[in-house]
Structure 1
Amino acid sequence: MHMSLSRCWAATLMLPLLLPGMGWAKEFAEPQAGEDVTMPAGMQEGTLHPRPDESRPPERGAPSEVAPTPPGRAPAPAPDELPVLLPSAARWGYLLRLEATTLTLLPRRGVGEDEGFIQLEPTLVIDGGEKFGLNAGAPVRLRMWGGGEGAGLVRKEDWDSLSDWGQLVRALKLGADTSPVALWVGAMEGFHLVSGHLVQRYSNRTNPDYHPAGALLTGTLGPLYMEAFSSDVLGARLMGGELELDVQHVLFGRPKQPGRYTLSLSAIHDWGRGEVKSAEVTLAHLDATAVVLVQRKGRRALEMHVFAGWGGRPGAGGAWGAVAGVGADAVTPTLDLRLRLEARRQHGGFRQGYFGADYELARLQAAGTSGLPLAQASFPEGYSVYAEAMVAWDAVLLGEVLQRHLHLSMGAEAFSWGRVDVDGRLAVQLLHRNLEVAVKGLAVGMRQPWARYLASGEVRWRFWGGRLYALGQGGTLLYPTAEGPLRPGAFASLGMGVDNGR
């Protein structure tokens, strides 16, 4: 249980393999509430099951698209009593979509000039069951005005590096939860690496001019479980992994419930060679976890666990941190709830969640008055309290069709010296799922004079049977510059889309 519930922090990623509010192509029918829909043999519910902390990249809008859980640990027993919306006879599904919008990029504080584009975004989704899935497509921005002398028809910042070509793959899944080895490739959004004490709510596309595809490789061998990831498969950026040992398995043989008592070691290195170069950084962390409560009754499951850990920055004397906390996970046919509460200690510049939601901007310029990159900026010693909540709720039932009436994901950390960081995403579906509203916000350094804020929102309204929809997006951005400081900007778009999702 623990492996499939609480440790699914590692699998909170990316963009959709199926998109909310769409359903499947018409050959797959959604059951009514109370209908008994069984799971295909060998398929675990976590194969495509979304986590509520995924969202659309900030340069395109607020979170209305939800990602699949990438291949997870195996052979952990997922909550297989939970119903799914995919009939057992179905193995393949597809979705075609085209969006056309007018996009305006606006400078703030009088810097630069407006740029206007017609944005065309084709999407192809193929779902091959538990072991294969593909979501391909990328926005193409054709210039209407602005950009200065010599500006090309296509916005060059979207395609001016090898890493940018990674945006063509939103999600590629090879392997299932039950596979000894599995691979996931695509955009990372709200990603946790197993324990989440180094890589926590990380997004690899926070920089609006950098569109890499990340990768997550998972493997299981006896009592060992491994996750290795790269934030950019086409560039030398964040690389690392976490190795977890099932202590009960080693001492007493394979347990009925794997992952009850574990030790894990993680290490991350940033090569700093992405689209914009930055200093190299290496962090490591050791964690111990124990599941203290497991309850299962029919289609309902509850788990509570405690954990403690210690981390440091190799080569940097005196840079260390400690953490202890408790977590709870609850799953019912209509609700997926995950809670976490931690007490943390930071010393010598080390901090938990170093690679977080703001990292792709902070590695170039940390929030603060120094103007220095995160690797060089000082971080006060002290204590903090971190809390995180992830909620997925549906009035009908949760299942493999990624429709949810409510997605909520929020993480907040309050430091003893006054700083507060908050990252949150909320998406709701209303009026028989015809109206989707989503908002996303990131605040770093609140209660300080140098706080950094990002916010975005999106509205989608489906009509004419749900195949056609109108959408509007808007929000704020921070762009890297050759001079060093991040340039503030904003975006707004309005357009139409069509798909075969209903």
Structure 2
Amino acid sequence: MGGWRYLTRLEASGLALLPSSGGGEAKRYAQLTPMLVVDGGEAFGLNLGAPVRLRLGGGGSSAGLVRREDWDSLSDWGQVVHALKIGSDTSPVGLWVGALEGYSLLSGHLVRRYTNRANPDYHPAGASLTGALGPFYVEAFASDVLGARLAGAQAEVDLQHLFAGPPRQKGRYTLGLSAVHDWGQAGGVAPPVMLAHLDGTAVVVVRPGFELHVLGGWGGRPGGGGAWGAVAGVGADALSPTLDMKLRLEVRRQHGGFRQGYFGPDYELGRLSAVGTSGLPQAQAPFPDGFSTYAEAVVAWDGVRLGGLLQRHLSLSLGAEVFGWGRVDVDGRLATQFANRNLEVALSGLALGLGQPGARHLYSGQVRWRFGHKLYALAEGGTLLYPNADGALRPGAYASLGLGVDNAR
């Protein structure tokens, strides 16, 4: 793909932030979202832009023109960079900076489906750095490049390459070690925590466009006094010009408060107040010993051909974990395109702790309808959880309706 491509966009909408049913004052804003996208091919991409919320009403006489919570910390300025990509999947070194949405660190047994902007008052820019040299592959990440928060890395070695030289197919037999630490000093203060995990993977079936692999691993919490976990499972990957599908099924064992996927989709809220009735941060909240079954499906399909991230007739990402002691966690996102891609509908949801007291629910939806060469309408809404100063979470909701203009076509 030769040449550079550019996209400019401006969205203007009315936004209402609604309090919980317990009372409080609704806050109304005019929201302006400028965006600049530069596409330099597989090896470079840049997406700049952030919403600016101008107060129309609510919030009291002391509230400023711009919503203060969106820009009251150094980390919040990271939201200006929505995405920066340098390098491709085949580059020796690759860098990604911006919003982490559904991010998993390689095996995913420590960081899985993590989102760094789940807290509506905290908007950091994360980063992921990858590098390959001979039989070794390393991925390191930080959830906040401007604050002392979550950071970690996983190093993998290709065993066949290490002992027998470069193989015809890379990555058939790998051994990996990962470690993740949260300093807890940005986006609200929370107790620090560190986890480590050892993983082994073997690809047992290889066909054109299809792989089947088995996996196993063991992890723990250094200094955690007997906190450990084990996992075994199977996964399948299918890839064609119109389909990209990844499936995984695992059986897990948790002990002493450790669990696989500890840094998950709810972590930015759970680190302040864990799911359940204890009101404690996740690092201090009790978690029963036992077994669980985890399943995940990530599917992208297009009736013509898979292209950029926005070109998908169907995108589905779903994860579910069922614990032997009665708890169920589910999170997912579904996006579809209709009417010659002029209409897009996206739904997302998170339901944690189902079957137990204090379950947590978050849901949202968005509709975009392009009705002109450069114009489109958008509507969105959903539920939110706002952290208080003491770490407790306050429920709320939002609704937005507006117009956008761009040069995408």
Report the TM-score when normalising by structure 2.
0.99
Match of 1:469 in 2: 376
| 1:441 alignment partner in structure 2 | 349
Which of the pair has the greater relative contact order for Cα pairs under 8 Å at 6+ separation?
A: 1
Residues 1:368 and 2:309 aligned together: no
In structure 2, the residue matched to 1:228 is 140
Q: Could you say which residue in structure 2 is the equivalent of 1:384?
A: 292
Residue 246 in structure 1 maps to residue 154 in structure 2 = no
SS at 1:215 equivalent: strand
1:246-293 deviations in whole A, cap 9, x for unaligned? 000111001011100000000000000012110000000000000001
Instruction: Indicate which of 35, 46, 69 corresponds to 1:123.
Output: 35
Q: Note if 1:146 corresponds to 2:58.
A: yes
Shift of the alpha carbon at 1:120? 0.2
Q: Aligned partners of 1:330 and 1:97: how far apart in 2?
A: 34
The one-letter code matched in structure 2 to 1:487 is: R
Q: Given the alignment of the two structures, is residue 304 of structure 1 paired with residue 212 of structure 2, yes or no?
A: yes
Q: 1:404-423 residue pairs with structure 2 within 5 A?
A: 404-423=312-331
- Find the partner of 1:482 among 373, 376, 389: 389
CA distance in 1, matches of 2:145, 2:29: 29
Using the alignment, how far apart are the partners of 2:339 and 2:42 within structure 1? 31
Alignment match, 2:96: 184
Alignment of 1:325-340 (within 5 A): 325-340=233-248
| SS, match of residue 441 in structure 1 | strand
Instruction: After TM superposition, give the deviation of residue 484 of structure 1 in Å.
Output: 2.8
Q: Aligned-pair distance for 1:401?
A: 6.4
User: Aligned residue for 1:343?
Assistant: 251
Of the three residues 163, 171, 189, the one matched with 1:277 is 189
Residue from 108, 115, 124 that aligns with 1:212: 124
Deviation digits for residues 305-358 of structure 1 (CA, Å, limit 9, x no counterpart) = 000000000001210000000000111121111100000000000000000000
Which residue pairs with 1:45 in the alignment? none
Aligned partner of 1:352 among 231, 244, 260: 260
Match of 1:73 in 2: none
2:44 is equivalent to residue 132 of structure 1? yes
Unaligned runs of 5+ in 2: none
Q: 1:78 maps to which residue?
A: none
Q: Normalising by the residue count of structure 1, what TM-score does the alignment of the two structures yield?
A: 0.81
The answer to whether the aligner puts 1:169 opposite 2:81 as a matched pair is yes
Aligned-pair CA distance for 1:412? 0.2
Which residue identity lines up with residue 126 of structure 1 in the other structure?
Answer: V
Distance 2:164 2:372 in 1: 60
Q: Match of 2:79, SS?
A: helix
Report the alpha carbon displacement of residue 111 of structure 1 after superposing the two structures with TM.
Answer: 3.6
Name the amino acid aligned to 1:501. Answer: A
Moved more, 203-212 or 168-177: 168-177
Output the amino acid matched with 1:168.
V
Structure 2 residue identity aligned to 1:232: D
What letter is aligned with 2:38?
Answer: I
Letter paired with 2:274: A
Using the aligned pairs only, state the percent identity. Answer: 70
| Local SS of the residue matching 1:116 | strand
Tell me the SS of whatever aligns to 1:249: helix
Alpha-carbon separation, structure 2, partners of 1:235 and 1:332: 40
Query: CA–CA distance in 2 between the matches of 1:310 and 1:401?
Result: 34
Q: Which amino acid aligns with 1:274?
A: A
Distance 2:85 2:336 in 1: 26
Structure 1 CA distance, aligned partners of 2:383 and 2:84? 29
Q: CA RMSD in A?
A: 0.9
Give how far 1:176 is off.
2.0
Q: 2:75 and 2:308 mapped to 1: Cα distance?
A: 31
Q: In structure 1, list runs of 5 or more residues that go unmatched.
A: 1-87
More strand by share: 2
Equivalent position to 2:221, from 303, 313, 324:
313
